[in-house]
Amino acid sequence: MNSTAPETGVYRWIIVLCSFLTLFVSNGMTLGGITVFDLELLASLSEISGAEVQLDQLKVRDGLMFLTAGILGIAAGWMADRIGVKPLIIAGLVLLALCNLAYSQVQALTSIYMIHLGLGLVLVLCGLMINVYLISRWFTKGRGLAIGLVLAGTSLGNAFFPQLNTWLMTEMGLSWREVFQWLALVPVALLPVAIFVLKSAPDDSAEGKSGGPGDARSAAAELPGYSLGEALRSRNFWIICTLAFCTFYSILGMMTVTFVFLREAEYPAQLAATGVSILFLGGLVGKIIAGFLAETLGRKQVLLVSLGLMFIGSIALLLAVVQGGELYIWIGLIGFGFGWGGIYTLIQMLSADLFGLKALGKILGGVNVVDTLGGAMGPVITSSLYVSTKSFELPFMVITALLLVAILAAAMLRMSDAAYLQAEPQTA
């Protein structure tokens, strides 16, 4: 094999960096970064409308964003299989810039809702699913570590952009509208990387292909793995969907109430914020470690350990509600965060490993619909149960039960059916 081919040299790690930066920007700006503007948005919209705008009205935007991402996920997977991911990522970055510019001009809630429909499309075009698809095309050996490194971009982006946005408002004295205008330049700055460096697959470089629709279709026909119909008829697909639903419900449900939970336990605000950070930092470390260990210890084994950590963390947090005790809280948050990071990587990795590359975009799109549904339901149901019962006992019991279901489902995975076992000789 030619030693200069991208898949045997350093170029695939350049792709990892490109993908990391894409997720750092797309997820960081659409998820964590926007939340620091909430109070300014509420005050401004209330002043413009002459009536008080409530937080729950504003948060409808998040449901619309996730709903859009879920509905359009399959379409994006189909397009990735047809034309490759490069055009999608470029379009997503352009749309992200336009949405930030539009945010700087909003005058009503309806405008924000429309913008978040666009941000949902951004998550489809250059978010998690597309980047996992990209890395899976470039890696067979080392895929777990590569995916873990890329997914670390989501954690770091969600940690970085809230700090940046707050600094621009408090230290630089910019208004929230001016900050959105400056933020629009961030995805624009990433466009040259997407245009000139990013390649949809190794053959785009190695063989001088343009990466156009014909190339993508002909390449897909030669790739190993399951068709969408074959995947839908397999037990493993529905197990992955079950894992995705249960774990995305659990982590997003837990994340949205952690701060309130700790404040209810009479911790100071700064310490409560630290509790939220533990979830994110645990997830960051868990993503990278799980990706590495999955290559040496086995996918299923690391998945079960990660689910076990998350389950133990959930039980500890439930005990903290029922019995009290600071130790339960911190054990719970650490276990929950580390476990979730591992699961987050493993679900993406297993989708490629189990079903191969033949129809990976469509298959990832199907899984994306299910995990988006779980992610959308988690915060709503967890918060509603807390409001109705005035306690975190029932919502944490639901999360614990779902994680038990996930463990039982993971135990039934048939790794002997995995497409990667037949594809390993192809891409080192």
Q: Which own/partner contact pairs does 306-309 have at CB distance under 8 Å and 24+ positions apart? A: 306/338, 306/339, 306/340, 306/341, 306/342, 306/343, 306/346, 307/247, 307/339, 307/343, 307/403, 307/406, 307/407, 307/410, 308/339, 308/407, 309/335, 309/336, 309/338, 309/339, 309/342
Instruction: Answer yes or no: same fold for 6-222 and 228-423.
Output: yes
Q: Is the pLDDT of residue 215 over 90?
A: no
Q: Is the pLDDT of residue 222 over 80?
A: no
DSSP 35: G
The string of pLDDT tens digits covering residues 236-256 is: 999 999 999 999 999 888 877
Superfamily for the 228-423 domain: MFS general substrate transporter like domains (1.20.1250.20)
The string of pLDDT tens digits covering residues 326-382 is: 889 999 999 998 998 899 888 888 888 888 878 887 888 888 888 888 887 888 788
What pLDDT was estimated at residue 273?
65
Highest mean pLDDT among 24-38, 103-117, 375-389: 103-117
Angle value at C-alpha 354, between 235 and 202, nearest 5 degrees: 150
Mean pLDDT, residues 213-236 taken together: 70
Count of positions (residues) in the chain: 428
pTM of structure: 0.75
What pLDDT was estimated at residue 105?
95
What is each CA distance from 104 to 112, 181, 355, in whole angstroms?
Answer: 10, 6, 43
6-222 CATH choice from 1.20.1250.20, 2.40.30.20, 1.10.3080.10, 3.50.50.60: 1.20.1250.20
Q: Is the pLDDT of residue 425 over 50?
A: no
Look at phi and psi of residue 223 and say left if phi exceeds 0, alpha if psi is from -120 to 50, else beta. beta
How do the domains of the chain map onto residue ranges? 6-222, 228-423
Q: Is the pLDDT of residue 218 over 70?
A: no
User: Which is more confidently placed, 208 or 142?
Assistant: 142
pLDDT-derived band at 126 (thresholds 50, 70, 90) equals very high
Q: Could you tell me what percent of the chain has a pLDDT over 70?
A: 90
What pLDDT was estimated at residue 420?
61
Mean pLDDT, residues 58-83 taken together: 83
Number of H helices, E strands in the chain: 20, 0
Strands (E) across 17-163 are located at none
What pLDDT was estimated at residue 163?
81
Spatial contact of 256 and 395, defined as CB atoms under 8 Å apart = no
Cα–Cα nearest to 136, from 84, 206, 187: 84
User: Which is more confidently placed, 60 or 333?
Assistant: 333
For residue 113, give both structure tokens.
């809702």
- The phi, psi pair for 378, rounded to 5°, reads -55, -55
- Return all residues near 235 (Cβ < 8 A) that are at least 6 apart: 412, 414
For residue 355, give both structure tokens.
């079903």
Q: Is the pLDDT of residue 3 over 50?
A: no
What pLDDT was estimated at residue 332?
92
Spatial contact of 281 and 337, defined as CB atoms under 8 Å apart = yes
Question: Quick check: helix, strand or coil at residue 140?
Answer: strand
